[in-house]
Amino acid sequence: MTVTKSGPLGGVGALPDLTGGSIPAHIHDLLEEAIITGVLAPGTRMRADLLAAEYGVSRIPVREALRSLHEAGWVDIRPRYGVYVRDRSIQELRELVATRAVIEASIAGWAAQHRSTDDLARLGELALSGRRVAGTADARQLSRLISEFWAVLRQAAGNQVMAAVSVDLEKRARFYLSAVPAGSGMHWPSALDRLVLFLTRGDVESAAAEARSYITATGATMGRLLTARDRS
């Protein structure tokens, strides 16, 4: 059974049946996703009492979740003032893009070497879906398609250590991407098409270069839009 709460924070998620599970971990995951997607905007105060009421639990697991979110870098704990969703930073975005470009290029190169027929088929399907959704205002669908594409690419690469780093970096990127309008920088469908082509050919260098270019271009678009928004 899933219990959905719609309380002071507008309903940031739902707690599933937690038999044998960890309540703090589930609350962490739900709040993390709400922060990443912008449901909980930077500067939002995270009050343990309101969140406990939202989820129908005591304050103890909520406080544990807030501490783990702080350790993961998603919230700031301000003594005597409370817990707040962290702000975005142009400098961090630049560092994130630079780091992610290196990691995703390496993953694409590995994938070009190790991809299976099934991997290529799924990546092709996702790229096709991307072309169909391109230009729409469906930000959630766009985000889902891109995330799934990179998840399949990580699987194709077959490097679990690099995949774990990539997953964390993608979360950070989504946190920034949620602040810009859907459809901005719509170069990505053609970029994914080219990447699938290079993967199919087993062209390691071109696949890595395309992934690096995609991440860099997307980061530049996000940077411009965030800078313009902050100045307005």
Q: Are residues 120 and 171 in the same domain?
A: yes
Which of 30, 57, 85 lies at the terminal end of a domain, its last residue?
A: 85
- Neighbour-count burial for 165-177, b at 16+ CB within 10 Å, e otherwise: bbeebbbbbbbbb
Residues 96 and 80 in one domain: no
Model pTM above 0.75: yes
Residues 104 and 181 in one domain: yes
Query: Of 59, 85, 111, at which residue does a domain stop?
Result: 85
Q: Count the domains in the chain.
A: 2
Token pair 């993967």 in the structure block, residue: 199
Host H or E run for residue 14: strand 14-15
Per-residue pLDDT of the chain (232 residues; tens, 9 = 90+): 233 344 445 456 555 555 446 899 999 999 999 999 899 999 999 999 999 999 999 999 999 999 999 999 999 999 999 999 999 999 999 999 999 999 999 999 999 999 999 999 999 999 988 888 776 656 677 778 888 999 999 999 999 999 999 999 999 999 998 887 665 555 677 889 999 999 999 999 999 999 999 999 989 988 888 887 767 6
The closest of 198, 86, 96, 87 to 153, measured between CA atoms, is 198
| Cβ-contact 136, 152 below 8 angstroms | no
CATH assignment at residue 210: 1.20.120.530
Helices (H), 19-89: 23-36, 48-55, 59-71
Same structural domain, 33 and 109: no
Query: Are the beta carbons of 156 and 114 closer than 8 angstroms?
Result: yes
Q: Within a 10 A sphere around the Cβ of 14, how many other Cβ atoms?
A: 13
Q: Does residue 24 sit in the same domain as residue 49? A: yes
Question: Which of 31-54 are b and which e, b meaning 16 or more Cβ less than 10 Å from the residue's Cβ?
Answer: bbebbbbebbebebebbbeebbbb
Orientation angle between helical segments 90-114 and 139-157, nearest 10 degrees: 50
- Structural domain including 143 reads 90-231
